Structure formats: structure tokens, C-alpha cells
Chains A and B, each alone.
Chain A
Amino acid sequence: MVHTWPNALILGAQKVPSLGLSTRAHVMVLLVCFLGAAFLLRLLRRRQLRGKYTLLWILTGLVVLVIASFPSAVDHVAHTLNIYNPPNALFLLAIAFLLLVCIYFSYELSRLEERTRLLAEELAILRGEQHVTAQPSAGEAN
């Protein structure tokens, strides 16, 4: 039973966290973080994910891990930001972070689309020129 486990099992927790995470929740979070990190590293090993994105998500995972391990950190942050309910501070920061990541991805996507388009245009021009140069030489064939 969760409630009979000694407090020490709750990683680094000195007091009952106000985020109210149970031990089972902690274990779940830890598990998800490690599995996620393993998955990302596997993608990196197979060169299916660029290093910078692997780093981004692994660092994100670390932050989640820290928060899960020391929920009191969130309390301090909430207190500093004058937010009454600590979980709200967590949501605020998480949403802000994800929003920034999304904007960054939109930027990257626009850049990629632009590059793809430029390549297509170059290819089309080359194809056109190839036919033009191919026609006279076919006529003048010796």
C-alpha cells in the first residue's frame, strides 16, 4: 500500500509536497522520463533525430525529472511569481515553454519549405534547359 511506504522512498522529499504527488506517481514519472530518454537516444543512434533536438528533449526530460523529484521547487517558483496555486505556476511555465518550441518549429518548417521550393525550382529550370540543349545536338548528330 502506497500510504504505508516510508517517506524516504519519495526521492529527496523532506516534507509532503504541495503538488501532492503520490509515490506511485513519482515512479510513473521516473519511468516515463527514462523510457523517453532511451527512445530519444535510440533515434539519435539511428541518425533519425538531429543531435540538437535530442538535446532539447532530453534537457526537457531532466527538468521534468527534477520537478518530480523536488516538488517543493515548484512551490518556491510559484511563491516568487506570486502565484497562489503552485500547479498553476507549473502549467504556466510548461505551456510557455512548449509554445516557444512550437514557434521555433514553425520557423524551421518555413525554412525547410523554402529550401525545398528552391530546389524544385532549380530542378525545373535544369530540366527545361536540358531539353533545349538536347534538341539541337540531336539534329546535328554526326
Chain B
Amino acid sequence: MAVPLRTVSSSDAGSEARASAARALAIIPAWNEEAALPGTLAELHEVRPDLDVLVVSDGSTDRTAEIGRAAGAVVAELPFNLGIGGALQTGFKYAVRHGYDRAVQFDADGQHDPREIATLFRALDAGADMVVGTRFGDGGTVEYRVGPMRRGAMSLLRFMMNTMTHSDFSDTSSGFRAFDRPVLEMFSNTYPVEFMDSTESLLHVCNAGLRAIEVPTVIRERQAGTPSTRHFRLVFHYTRVLVTMLSQWTFRRPADAGS
């Protein structure tokens, strides 16, 4: 269901009204992000002052939590590092308990452009339950600066994903995503907590019969920090995700298949 929803945009008044009434939360998982966080929060507040912001400090040992509070965000401090999945689930729980209608997952390191949040929310207005903002280059194709091995593993995962969910995702690993209430409720109860959570969680949403779509977004180069883990660990994680995905195989057709 890779529909470029920029063109769809909310034309009917009903969804426009729903969008303006919706309470939205930005969930920012942050692990020792004191360098990038001030800029990210400032820009986010400037562009989207309507959003409440939750920074989940994932066992940070630096000033991440202080910086978040100083910027006016609510900071959920995990006592030790849980990894991105646990940090996100903390955010989902907070969102559900505080009655938010929708949430957007936003990177602390400045990869995501807050102006693109509108793109994701428009897709929610158009009826999606979960929106993945994928990285599109100038040529309209997904463009990652990764080695051939990782590229191969990523396309294998994508192939499995699309086969299992009867869909057409171009990228399953993006961390720029928006969720509506039903998905938030589901994720607050169960969320894949190991590395590469985004792929697994996409599968959960599809298997639950909820509608997940992707929209093209501009994603910037990361400002600081090192991109991910070493090769042998990646092999382990990709294999693990493959096995986990296979264990989730369902013969039920997703609700949006063929639509």
C-alpha cells in the first residue's frame, strides 16, 4: 500500500476538523543525545508548537533529561538502557494513558524534518492507522548510504514483509512514523523490543488488520552519532528478525489487501 499520500491530502472538511481537534504527542527516544537534542527540540517547537513532546531518555548518562525538561518537554527517564523498542513502548503507554489521539515518533538526532510531520498526519486523516515516512531521494527511490551486505539483507526483509502482508513497502526500517489511537493502544501492550523494531512492528500492525501505509518524506543526513552496529551483530539481528517474522506468519488476509 505504498500510496504517495501527498497528493491525497485531506480535502474533505470532516477530516480537517478531526485533525485540528486531535491531541498529538511527539515521542522522542533519546540515548545520550545531549549534543543534538537542544536543536531538535527547538526546531520542533518552532514548527509544531501544537505538539506535546515526550522525551524518553533511554538510560542516558549525560544531560539528555535535563535538556529535555529545560526545553519544556515531559521527560520519561528509564533507569537503564532498554533499546529503542522499550523506549518507544514507554512513549506509547504515556500517550495512551494521557489520552492522545495520535503520536509521531521523532528522532532526537535531527534526521527528521518537523515540517514533514504534517505529511504523516495527513495520511492518518486519510484513514491510515500507521504511517511510515520513508526516505526518498531525488530520483524517487529509496536511497541509503549502506554497504552491499546490508542492502541485500534489507531487500530480503522487505521481500519477506511484502509477501507476508500482501503489500508493497519500499522501506520497512524507517523510524519516522505516526500512529493513531488503535495502534497506540496495541503498541502500549505489545511492542517488539529488540533491535529493528520498526520492521517487526509494521508486521504486527498488518497482521492485526490495521492499515499501515508509507509516504515519501525528506529525511536528512544524521547530524551526530554513528549509524548503528557492526556487521556481525547485524547478521545476528537480521537473522533473528527473519525468524521472528516467520513465527508471525498468518494466513489471514490483511484488511487492506487489494484495496
CB distance from A97 to the nearest CB of B (A): 25
Q: For the complex, is A9 an interface residue (Cβ under 8 Å from B)?
A: no
By the criterion CB–CB under 8 Å, are A131 and B82 in contact? Answer: no
Q: Which of A124, A125, A132: most chain B CB closer than 10 A?
A: A124
> Provided the pairs A124-B90, A125-B94, A128-B54 are in contact, do residues A117 and B193 lie with their beta carbons within 8 angstroms?
yes
Q: For the complex, is B75 an interface residue (Cβ under 8 Å from A)?
A: yes
Contacts of A117 in B (CB 8 A): 82, 86, 193
**Which positions 34-85 of chain B face chain A at CB distance < 8 Å?**
54, 56-57, 69, 74-80, 82
What sequence of 0s and 1s flags, for each residue 120-135 of chain A, a beta carbon within 8 Å of any chain B beta carbon? 1101110111011000
Q: For the complex, is B93 an interface residue (Cβ under 8 Å from A)?
A: yes
Contacts of B54 in A (CB 8 A): 128
A129 to B90: give the CA distance in the assembly, Å.
12
A105 to B61: give the CA distance in the assembly, Å.
32
CB distance from A126 to the nearest CB of B (A): 9
CB distance from A43 to the nearest CB of B (A): 27
Q: Is the interface of A mostly helix, strand, loop or mixed?
A: helix
> Provided the pairs A117-B193, A121-B89 are in contact, do residues A128 and B75 lie with their beta carbons within 8 angstroms?
yes
Q: Which residue of B lies closest to A135 (CB)?
A: B69
Contacts of A124 in B (CB 8 A): 56-57, 76-79, 90
A58 to B33: give the CA distance in the assembly, Å.
50
Q: Is the interface of B mostly helix, strand, loop or mixed?
A: mixed
By the criterion CB–CB under 8 Å, are B78 and A120 in contact? Answer: yes
Contacts of B93 in A (CB 8 A): 121, 125
Jot down 24 A-B pairs with beta carbons below 8 A, ordered by A: A117-B86, A120-B80, A120-B82, A120-B86, A121-B89, A123-B78, A123-B79, A124-B56, A124-B57, A124-B76, A124-B79, A125-B94, A125-B97, A127-B75, A127-B76, A127-B77, A128-B74, A128-B75, A128-B76, A128-B77, A128-B94, A129-B74, A131-B69, A132-B74
Tell me the B residues contacting A by CB distance below 8 Å. Answer: 54, 56-57, 69, 74-80, 82, 86, 89-90, 93-94, 97, 193
> Provided the pairs A117-B82, A120-B82, A131-B69 are in contact, do residues A125 and B90 lie with their beta carbons within 8 angstroms?
yes
A123 to B57: give the CA distance in the assembly, Å.
12
A128 to B56: give the CA distance in the assembly, Å.
9
CB distance from B73 to the nearest CB of A (A): 9
Contacts of A128 in B (CB 8 A): 54, 74-77, 94
CB distance from A103 to the nearest CB of B (A): 15
Contacts of A120 in B (CB 8 A): 78-80, 82, 86
Q: Which 9 A-B pairs give the minimum distances between C-beta atoms? A: A128-B76, A124-B76, A121-B90, A124-B78, A127-B77, A128-B74, A124-B90, A120-B78, A117-B86
A31 to B78: give the CA distance in the assembly, Å.
48
Q: Which residue of B lies closest to A113 (CB)?
A: B193
